[in-house]
Structure 1
Amino acid sequence: MTASHAAALTARAQDVSAEIIADILTLVRHETGSYDLPALAAGLDVLREVAVTRLGAPDGEHRYPGGACGDTLTLTYAGTGAGHVALVGHYDTVWPTGTLAGWEQPEATDEDGRARLSGPGIFDMKTGLAQGIWALKLARESGAPVPTVTFLFNGDEEIGSLSSRPVIEETAKKVDATLVLEPTAHGAVKTARKGSGIFKVTATGVEAHAGLAPQDGASATLALSEFIVAAAAVAAPPRGTTINPGLISGGSAINVVAGSASAGIDIRVSSESEQHRVDAEFAAIQVSDPRVRIEVDHAWNRPPMTLNAASAPLLDLAREVAHDQGRAPLPDTAVGGASDANFISALGLPVLCGMGAIGDGAHARGEYIHPDTVPAQTALVAGLLCRLTEPLPG
């Protein structure tokens, strides 16, 4: 990519920034909470419409039914050069339908006066979806050869990619490189992510009248509370292991000794050895009442992600593109959150994550992007696509 071509991409992205932001806001206005199947279906239709409006009809398309999860959609656009790249992003969000109506300050400014745009899912990760679509549009319009590009949009990432994981892995195996359009870490790409577990703990006790015969009961909620306290102590933040009991339920009535209770526990680890330690220590936890049965579903969802040998040249290439476009040196970082890039990295395939939005506040009310960064981020992905018509080193 010549200096003039890099400059032209950046300038063109700036020229169309208002249109890119309009598409971002279109996606945000269509709420897509992970558990609302009708909203997910409608939101995916809107996302497909944005892609087709900007890029034309795809050369290949497949919609994979998600069952209890949102569907996964792949759209393939034939290239004018060699190579095949996947652009991956999820359209589901953590926000339930109706959140948008009560969202405060959709437009605001930082203390230094820098503009913000805020909305449910705008940072994680609807901005990345729109930027990815526009990146291919700008790359094609630049006149440079571009690779074949397959977009993969999944609707269940926030709940573990339970349905979409096989599609993600098979797609990644068929391409030369994958760019995951998750938000950046304050401008840095993400080359290492923690692995994640979604454990379910079930306690089964003995019901009894809480006033007449409490001694006959064995409280599932009390035993579960003991288990949760012991489980939380397994965390080891200096080793990268955190444990969060995020969902707890149990009992049938306030005057009944609880016969059942359950908890959902989010676990993050930075190494396989920590996975094994957590498994062993959870299995060793005992509660004080032997009449209560504790069952633990050790559901490891995503393996830890590291900068594997296949991904290092992709990072180098992204840094070259950033340099050619006159950007500051492109940093990379490790983060605690997991993403679909974890699956791809674990296969030993080339992948970069965090190619999307610059902003902050993922999963928090008030999540936001800096709209002035949208053109440069879009141009970065566009420039990288133009360079991926040649094989990566190694």
Structure 2
Amino acid sequence: MTHADAAAALSVWVALESPTNHPAGVNGMMDLVAGEVAGLPIAVERIAGRDGLGDMVLLRAGRANGQPGVALMSHLDTVHPVGTSAKELPVRVEGDRLYGPGVYDMKGGAWLALQAFKAVAKAGTAKRPMAFLFTPDEEIGSPTSRGLIEEIGRGSAAVLVTEPARAGGRIVTARKGVGRFDVRLEGRPAHAGSRHADGRSAIREAAHQILAVEAMTDYARGITTSVALMGGGTAANVIPQHAWFSVDCRVTTLADGTMMENRILSLKAHDPDVAIRVTGGMNRPPYEKSPAVAALFELARGVAAEVGFDLQDCPMTGGGSDGNFTAALGVPTLDGLGIDGDGAHTLQEYGLISSIAPRQGLIKGLLETI
């Protein structure tokens, strides 16, 4: 397949917008996957979506020899709202760049990995059973797909995740763990003019708590905490009864994840007359570069050298993925195997067309080698 043919085929996927909260679009993507493998020696299982989210599709192929398999994981949900491709980010080719919503994160990786999976399934060259799971909800923390991701991971000798490559085509062998928390505060309303002293401001309490949470960041230890969403109050002349904010927490180790979860869930009100309620927890465990992950990476380097390029990995990245779940189970996991490019979650998102063929060759080689 030429570069132009690959870009044209991938453009069809990118043009079908599939934000997580648009199950019709996500299910349209699942239809495309199922359609691509029709008539091939690939079993297709479709798992109906729930909680207002899209379906999952699980492909199986390769040798049914009782050995642990090799699993591919891709999500087909994106973050850009429907209409983005008609306005701010049209699907287009400019030189080596294919622009469009979700092309880098991560339809490019999902598409090229499916081509590799199809080729190995048709040739019958896999040493192990192969599975390929397409999910609908990674961008919101994988609430409906995590159980199946972990189930497949437990039965696998290795997991390959097609999140986008990092700068220069580097792959990911370690990610921080991710925690999400919601903090709700209830004070006492009062007229801001005539009864000011009677009020207990939930927003003032939120300010104290936000500063305390942000102060938990410890760069030397790899711990970050941030508050990016907040709200509260009812009117300009009312001492606010209610306020809320969300917390994002990133950690590098399981122990720090437990420590930070306990610390945030144990927040105490600065003002005893304001009630505070904290919910949430660590959503994705850390993905550490274990000896098994390092060994799998070295195997991948050898495969890449045969394809014709020098594969490198990057330092632990702050973003989480479904690879966090499988790596935390002790399953050797490689991530960032998708398309090279830049601009994830922005209106300048693009994938490098020239990276498709070598990345596809890498995944094909891994499926045949592991």
Q: With structure 1 as the length reference, what TM-score do the two structures score?
A: 0.85
Query: For residues 243 and 100 of structure 2, what CA distance do their matches in structure 1 show?
Result: 35
Is residue 85–residue 91 contact of structure 2 (8 Å, CA) maintained in 1? no
Alpha-carbon RMSD across the aligned residues, in angstroms, is: 2.5
Query: For residues 253 and 273 of structure 1, what CA distance do their matches in structure 2 show?
Result: 43
Aligned equivalent of 1:356: 338
Q: 1:283 to 1:314 in 2, by over 3 A?
A: closer
Is residue 267–residue 278 contact of structure 2 (8 Å, CA) maintained in 1? no
Aligned equivalent of 1:175: 156
- Is 1:69 aligned with 2:38? no
Task: Tell which deviates more after alignment, 140-149 or 114-123.
Answer: 140-149
- Is 1:254 aligned with 2:240? no
Q: CA deviation at 1:320?
A: 1.1
Select which of 149, 166, 170 maps to 1:185: 166
Is residue 201–residue 294 contact of structure 1 (8 Å, CA) maintained in 2? yes
- Is 1:32 aligned with 2:18? yes
Q: 1:37 to 1:205 in 2, by over 3 A?
A: farther
Task: Tell which deviates more after alignment, 34-43 or 87-96.
Answer: 34-43
Aligned runs of 1:257-276 on 2, under 5 Å? 257-276=239-258
Q: State the number of aligned residues.
A: 368
Q: CA deviation at 1:307?
A: 1.9
Is residue 48–residue 54 contact of structure 2 (8 Å, CA) maintained in 1? no
Q: CA deviation at 1:93?
A: 1.3
Q: CA deviation at 1:106?
A: 4.6
Is residue 84–residue 90 contact of structure 2 (8 Å, CA) maintained in 1? no
Q: With structure 2 as the length reference, what TM-score do the two structures score?
A: 0.90
- SS of match in other structure, 1:19: helix
Letter in structure 2 aligned against 1:45: D
Aligned equivalent of 1:94: 79
Aligned equivalent of 2:361: 379
- SS of match in other structure, 1:246: coil
Query: For residues 290 and 125 of structure 2, what CA distance do their matches in structure 1 show?
Result: 29
Query: For residues 246 and 99 of structure 1, what CA distance do their matches in structure 2 show?
Result: 23
Q: 1:313 to 1:199 in 2, by over 3 A?
A: same
Q: Which runs of 5+ in 1 are unaligned?
A: 1-14, 389-394
Q: Deviation digits for residues 318-366 of structure 1, max 9, x if unmatched?
A: 1111111221244354211111111111111121111111111222221
Query: For residues 62 and 124 of structure 2, what CA distance do their matches in structure 1 show?
Result: 15
Q: Which runs of 5+ in 2 are unaligned?
A: none
Q: CA deviation at 1:240?
A: 1.3
Q: 1:57 to 1:22 in 2, by over 3 A?
A: farther
Is residue 62–residue 124 contact of structure 2 (8 Å, CA) maintained in 1? no
Task: Tell which deviates more after alignment, 375-384 or 269-278.
Answer: 269-278
Task: Tell which deviates more after alignment, 297-306 or 59-68.
Answer: 59-68
Select which of 172, 192, 202 maps to 1:210: 192
Select which of 12, 34, 52 maps to 2:37: 52
Select which of 319, 323, 332 maps to 1:337: 319
- Is 1:243 aligned with 2:243? no
Aligned equivalent of 1:5: none
Is residue 170–residue 311 contact of structure 2 (8 Å, CA) maintained in 1? no
Letter in structure 2 aligned against 1:96: P
Letter in structure 2 aligned against 1:59: A
Aligned equivalent of 2:209: 227
Task: Tell which deviates more after alignment, 135-144 or 150-159.
Answer: 135-144
Aligned equivalent of 1:297: 279
Is residue 20–residue 130 contact of structure 1 (8 Å, CA) maintained in 2? no
- SS of match in other structure, 2:165: coil
Is residue 180–residue 352 contact of structure 1 (8 Å, CA) maintained in 2? yes
Q: CA deviation at 1:141?
A: 5.3
Query: For residues 184 and 288 of structure 1, what CA distance do their matches in structure 2 show?
Result: 44
Query: For residues 258 and 124 of structure 2, what CA distance do their matches in structure 1 show?
Result: 51
Is residue 248–residue 262 contact of structure 1 (8 Å, CA) maintained in 2? yes
Identity of aligned residues (%): 35
Query: For residues 344 and 96 of structure 2, what CA distance do their matches in structure 1 show?
Result: 18
Letter in structure 2 aligned against 1:43: M
Letter in structure 2 aligned against 1:322: A
Q: Deviation digits for residues 25-58 of structure 1, max 9, x if unmatched?
A: 2221121212223333333323433x325x7373
Q: CA deviation at 1:284?
A: 6.2
Is residue 206–residue 259 contact of structure 1 (8 Å, CA) maintained in 2? yes
Select which of 125, 129, 154 maps to 2:110: 129
Query: For residues 86 and 201 of structure 1, what CA distance do their matches in structure 2 show?
Result: 37
Aligned equivalent of 1:12: none
Letter in structure 1 aligned against 2:54: G
Is residue 195–residue 338 contact of structure 1 (8 Å, CA) maintained in 2? yes
Query: For residues 38 and 59 of structure 1, what CA distance do their matches in structure 2 show?
Result: 23
Is residue 62–residue 121 contact of structure 2 (8 Å, CA) maintained in 1? no
Letter in structure 2 aligned against 1:231: V
- SS of match in other structure, 1:296: strand
Query: For residues 133 and 262 of structure 1, what CA distance do their matches in structure 2 show?
Result: 42
Is residue 88–residue 180 contact of structure 1 (8 Å, CA) maintained in 2? yes
Is residue 188–residue 333 contact of structure 1 (8 Å, CA) maintained in 2? no
Query: For residues 224 and 345 of structure 1, what CA distance do their matches in structure 2 show?
Result: 36
Q: 1:237 to 1:338 in 2, by over 3 A?
A: same
Letter in structure 2 aligned against 1:27: W
Query: For residues 175 and 339 of structure 1, what CA distance do their matches in structure 2 show?
Result: 18
Q: CA deviation at 1:368?
A: 1.4
Q: 1:331 to 1:281 in 2, by over 3 A?
A: closer
- Is 1:201 aligned with 2:186? no
Aligned equivalent of 1:392: none
